[in-house]
Structure 1
Amino acid sequence: MTSGSPNLYAEALLLLTGAVIAAPLFKRLGLATVLGYLAAGIVIGPVLRIIGHGREILEFAELGVVFLLFVIGLELKPSRLWQMRRAIFGLGTAQVLLGGVALAGCAVLAGSGTRAAIVVGFGLALSSTAFALQLLQDANEANAPHGRIAFSILLLQDLAIVPLLAVIPLLAPFEPASTSPMTAFAIAVAAVVALVLAGRYLLNPLFSIIARTGAREAMIAAALLVVLGAASLMQLAGLSMAMGAFLAGVMLAESAYRHELEADIEPFRGILLGLFFMGVGLSLDLTVIARNWMLLVAAVPVVMAVKALTIYGVCRLFGAGHNDAVRIAGLLPQGGEFGFVLFTSAASAGIFPMATASLLIAIVTLTMALTPLTAALAERLLKEEEGERLDEDFDGAGSDVLMIGFSRFGQIACQILLAGGSSVTVIDHSADRVRQAMRFGFRIYFGDGTRKDVLEAAGIGRARVVAICTQKKEITDRIVDLVQTEYPSARIFARSYDRVHTLALRERRVAYELRETFESGLLFGRRTLEELGLDGATAEAIGDDIRRRDEERLILQASEGINAGRGMIFNRPATPAKPLTPQPLTKPRKAEEDGETRRTPAEIE
């Protein structure tokens, strides 16, 4: 063991402690975990000065971005990538060019020379893949329309670092002894072709051979070898390591081992990505910030505003809606990790002094730190999107049942009512759903159930039951409140979103409510038990017991609070001999002593 090893272990322990404390704390405060990692790095490094070599840690931690791009590549089949070509090469290219030119112009106005301004402008035009994708994953929006567009822009930006780094020698005031741009380009193309061929003809046979051996650790080692090997190949060719990992992931996206590879890489990705964000905080030079705080106070909002406006404008130009464009603009206004590489390379080439590079890195870091706030601000700037409207014609409306909402839940309920000979008036605010239902012979009316005049026109005064089958619980609550205020004698049957919503509806004294997934979940579980060999009568009795327990638990929760009735939940398999043995109504102490992890009652249906 070397004399420096204890220091290394102590630093690793300190960083892990910071991550364990900061990430849950910031999550609890409703902020992004990214911001927590960043704050932990700032406290450990620049504030307390416990770790003083943040740049070295950051260089190693960039492997987190590499693993992240590999996992993303695994989710993208080549066919899907081809479908995104317009967003990647059209919208992404436009964003880099317009954002780079606009920010370069700002740098010129601030007193930079033309060559330095080009590097500054295009370096700041790049956004942080790690920050943006982490925020999208935290919000579960990676596959949303704005998430896909943002990913396309980020992917093009990762590609753009290649020509930007190639331009550095051309902008340098002295002639470096390096490979010509054409040779560098040929090497880069050859490396990409080699990686694609290896992915197509070598990787799947490799994983097939290892899988047949049954050596789990060898499969993990092979996954790491593929990621790091592809990343190193691209780095040797002058491209980014992240791009190599991404291409390797895309090549394996259709592999039978895709899910196993993702599971093997995920722990490394999570730890190293958190370390990367902490490394950004560690590398922040507070002295530079203190010395140039007025410049930073002016520069950071200008950079973020210029980027947000150009991103919004480009997204709108390429057909994105207002809300999607606003979300993307709020997600990508920060500088990126590749800006660190570009600014350092430019300083080494003599385009501007190292002090300028440090200041630019501080600007990028601060924009990263503010990104969760801009993403939250973007949500406040969204407009309530109005769907297509049809004429509100209620001729012939008025039945025993007034049904509001005709999505899947309402359609199934309507079948039962019609089969039983009841008349039903259905209203829905979706023009597409109205037209689709009409194609199947249904007579439904276009209208907004939250409006009193619409309910009047739909014949609520003649309805014996008002069936509220809307999808969003806030809409359901608004309709319930409206009906109870204006038509207190109406009997309300409501579709409930979840357990908490059920308790809220019962507090409002609706005549009947049903959670949208409860009965289907019971039937699904019952059929599964039968498939596993249990006889139908016993399986049905178990389903009835679960339904009874659920109702008793709801009654307890209504009177004692959401945490009541925990002991009535089955959280361990019942013994085969006694599948219906009820659990005690009090909270079991044995489970607490065993340290058993439970979901919160509000999450358990």
Structure 2
Amino acid sequence: MDDPATQAAEAAHHGFDVTPIVILLVAAVIAVPIFRRIGLGSVLGYLAAGLAIGPYGLGFFDDAESIISIAELGVVLFLFIIGLEMQPSRLWAMRGEIFGLGALQVCVAIFTLIWVGILLGYPTEASFVAGTGFVLTSTAIVMQMLQERNQMGTPAGRRMIAILLFEDLAIVPLLALVAFLAPGGEEATLADRLTGVGIGLAAIAALVLAGRYLLDPMFRLLARFGAREVMTAAALMVVLGAALLMQMGGLSMAMGAFLAGVLLSESSFRHQLEADIEPFRGLLLGLFFLGVGMALDLNTIAANWAVIAISVPAYMILKMLVIYVVARVTKSPHHEAQERAVLMAQGGEFAFVLYASATQFGILTPEWNANLTAIIIISMVLTPLMIMLHERLAHRTGHSAEELEEARDLRGNVLLIGFGRVGQIVSQPLLAQGYTVSIIDKDPQPIQDAREHGFRVWYGDGARLDILHAAGAQNAQLIVAAANDPEAVTRIVELAKAEFPLVPVLARAFDREHAVELVKAGADYHIRETLESAMEMGREALLRLGKSPEETDDVMRDFRERDRERFALDMVEGTVASARLMHRNLNQEEGGH
């Protein structure tokens, strides 16, 4: 018999291999920050990392499908968190957008995209399945993009989420339709199809009843007696259990997770659940994109490059046209319609399920399935690049020119530059007292959001002198620089004080160093955006700890005085440092001569 040390060594030798996990983490940690730094976004970083370590890159992995099947849980968890943000009343208010806008876009897109396959010579059934799969947008990509751009709660973002929800619902009848279109599928009895629908409805009813009467009491009980890790385990159990129930009922796992989130959205444990699920969601969603990058079959692309080269732009352009037309028909503004078309131009992860089912039923051949999968993945890879290109062009061409035309020769008491979180608050007391405020911003999304809430905001980059003239800076009694970019605020102050020296300029400072820059630039007044709120919180903390109001006011007054002294010292040190640098440069120039 081997001694314990030998047994331990053998167990370690044959134990769980963490190498693949380390490789995945290293690839993500290296690629994602680089791609975000250069402005390409985290999604494209994950896709590139997956391609680099997959079978057609460095070859660390040869089975991307197994990784994708696990990583799809990331999409499931993402939909659960979205559901937590969607109270039933809010979801009911969106019913028109889900079943109206969503249904219109899906139906028109299906009718349009099936012609790509027919014109390429494929059978009608195969062309229908191919086009339908491309209609199903990638929930993971669009949700991730909306989150990175802080658009989840905007009206435009909610409309896209409504369309995605309808597409998730549509996967069920589409899978049933695939079975019907299969050779011999029309012979399936009506009773079989009705049974399938009944099972799906029963699964939804069971989930709703469990969410209504069981989930909140369960979490209340666990909070009283369980440890923190038990609460996390319960949260995962609820999400995965709901997904499993929907899958058993023939429905989408993501839809089950979404419904579970909606049912818990008004629970007192909602924020705790979101905090517990968020780390798993982020990691698994990143793993999903890594898997998609690995699944890009370069051999298939090389062997069928002509068909793929035609199909990818054909599907994407036609889908974008459909989305844009439907958006405009349903009264969405031009800019929102453009943005929705670009964001939703790709095929989605549910297409893989649809194509696999169609291959199993004999509608698609394995080669066609491989081609279509490659087309979907390429469209996913192209989406972040298209979004980046769209954003650059939108600032240079149509939208900006259209808005700047409106911004000419404005006349107001106040010119407010930047309508973000600071600018919106600054504008309220001014408008309440009857002052006319001309507001400009260079980000089209806040402009659209503001107009939907009754504010008139014009497009314009306040860091450009011609825009300041067009926005009426020369006629203003006051200029407020509240942009979200510190460099832009400094530039606005410099231009305004140089060109309109008699107009007072109030500026938003991001930190102490930025405040020093603004003083040097000539700002008549500046305030660090977190200073007053932090001071007020500190004062309240002292009061709640038992200090008297008089003692507290003395402490805060002393703190303000010391802060002013430190700021004055920073100004002096900055001036001395500038003088030394100038002196050193002059000496270098004299030595050079």
TM-score band w.r.t. shorter chain:
0.7 to 0.9
From 162, 169, 179, the counterpart of 1:159: 169
> Cα offset for 1:180?
1.9
Q: 1:140 and 2:178 equivalent?
A: no
Amino acid in structure 1 at the alignment position of 2:385? L
Q: 1:372 and 2:387 equivalent?
A: no
Q: Could you say which residue in structure 2 is the equivalent of 1:468?
A: 479
Q: How do residues 346-495 of structure 1 correspond to structure 2 at under 5 angstroms?
A: 346-382=358-394, 383-384=399-400, 386=403, 403-405=414-416, 408-409=425-426, 426-429=435-438, 450-451=468-469, 454=472, 458=475, 467-472=478-483, 480=493, 483-488=496-501, 490=502, 492-495=504-507
From 105, 109, 117, the counterpart of 1:99: 109
> Cα offset for 1:64?
0.8
Q: 1:543 and 2:560 equivalent?
A: yes
- Is the CA contact (8 Å cut-off) linking 2:479 and 2:503 kept in structure 1? no
- Is the CA contact (8 Å cut-off) linking 1:472 and 1:497 kept in structure 2? no
Distance change >3 Å, CA 559–CA 155, structure 1 → 2:
farther
CA distance, structure 2, for counterparts of residue 63 and residue 497 of structure 1: 42
CA distance, structure 2, for counterparts of residue 513 and residue 367 of structure 1: 47
From 305, 328, 333, the counterpart of 1:321: 333
Query: RMSD of the alignment, in Å?
Result: 3.4
> Size of the alignment, in residue pairs?
527
> Cα offset for 1:21?
1.5
Amino acid in structure 2 at the alignment position of 1:81? L
Q: Could you say which residue in structure 2 is the equivalent of 1:170?
A: 180
Q: 1:58 and 2:75 equivalent?
A: no
Distance change >3 Å, CA 125–CA 557, structure 1 → 2:
farther
From 523, 527, 530, the counterpart of 2:543: 530
> Cα offset for 1:249?
0.6
From 60, 66, 69, the counterpart of 2:79: 69
* Aligned residues with identical type, % of pairs: 43
Amino acid in structure 2 at the alignment position of 1:220? T
CA deviation vs aligned residue, 1:394-444 (integer Å, no higher than 9, x gap): 8xx9xxxx64449643666899xx9xxxxxx954226999xx99xxxxxxx
Amino acid in structure 2 at the alignment position of 1:304? M
Amino acid in structure 2 at the alignment position of 1:513? H
CA distance, structure 2, for counterparts of residue 128 and residue 42 of structure 1: 19
CA distance, structure 2, for counterparts of residue 558 and residue 65 of structure 1: 54
Q: Could you say which residue in structure 2 is the equivalent of 1:584?
A: none
Determine helix, strand or coil for the equivalent of 2:39.
coil
Give unpaired runs (5+ residues) of structure 1.
419-424, 438-447, 461-465, 562-605
CA distance, structure 2, for counterparts of residue 453 and residue 145 of structure 1: 27
CA deviation vs aligned residue, 1:151-201 (integer Å, no higher than 9, x gap): 111111111111110111111113487982211111111111111111001
Distance change >3 Å, CA 96–CA 513, structure 1 → 2:
same
Q: Could you say which residue in structure 2 is the equivalent of 1:580?
A: none
Q: Could you say which residue in structure 2 is the equivalent of 1:231?
A: 243
Determine helix, strand or coil for the equivalent of 2:61.
coil
Query: What TM-score comes out, normalization by structure 1 length?
Result: 0.79
Q: Could you say which residue in structure 1 is the equivalent of 2:27?
A: 18
> Cα offset for 1:560?
5.6
From 508, 525, 531, the counterpart of 1:518: 531
Q: Could you say which residue in structure 2 is the equivalent of 1:571?
A: none
Q: Could you say which residue in structure 2 is the equivalent of 1:582?
A: none
Determine helix, strand or coil for the equivalent of 1:34.
helix
Distance change >3 Å, CA 119–CA 476, structure 1 → 2:
same
CA distance, structure 1, for counterparts of residue 410 and residue 390 of structure 2: 37
> Cα offset for 1:486?
4.4
CA deviation vs aligned residue, 1:486-525 (integer Å, no higher than 9, x gap): 444x263322252465455334334443345534443443
Distance change >3 Å, CA 115–CA 222, structure 1 → 2:
same
- Is the CA contact (8 Å cut-off) linking 1:307 and 1:333 kept in structure 2? yes
Q: Could you say which residue in structure 2 is the equivalent of 1:43?
A: 52
Q: Could you say which residue in structure 2 is the equivalent of 1:250?
A: 262
Q: Could you say which residue in structure 2 is the equivalent of 1:567?
A: none
From 113, 116, 122, the counterpart of 1:112: 122
CA distance, structure 1, for counterparts of residue 404 and residue 266 of structure 2: 37
Amino acid in structure 1 at the alignment position of 2:468? T
CA distance, structure 2, for counterparts of residue 375 and residue 558 of structure 1: 43
CA distance, structure 1, for counterparts of residue 224 and residue 115 of structure 2: 59
Higher helix share: 2
CA distance, structure 2, for counterparts of residue 554 and residue 341 of structure 1: 63
Q: Could you say which residue in structure 1 is the equivalent of 2:234?
A: 222
Distance change >3 Å, CA 9–CA 27, structure 1 → 2:
same
Q: Could you say which residue in structure 2 is the equivalent of 1:570?
A: none
Give unpaired runs (5+ residues) of structure 2.
1-9, 417-422, 441-449, 456-465, 579-593
Q: Could you say which residue in structure 1 is the equivalent of 2:287?
A: 275
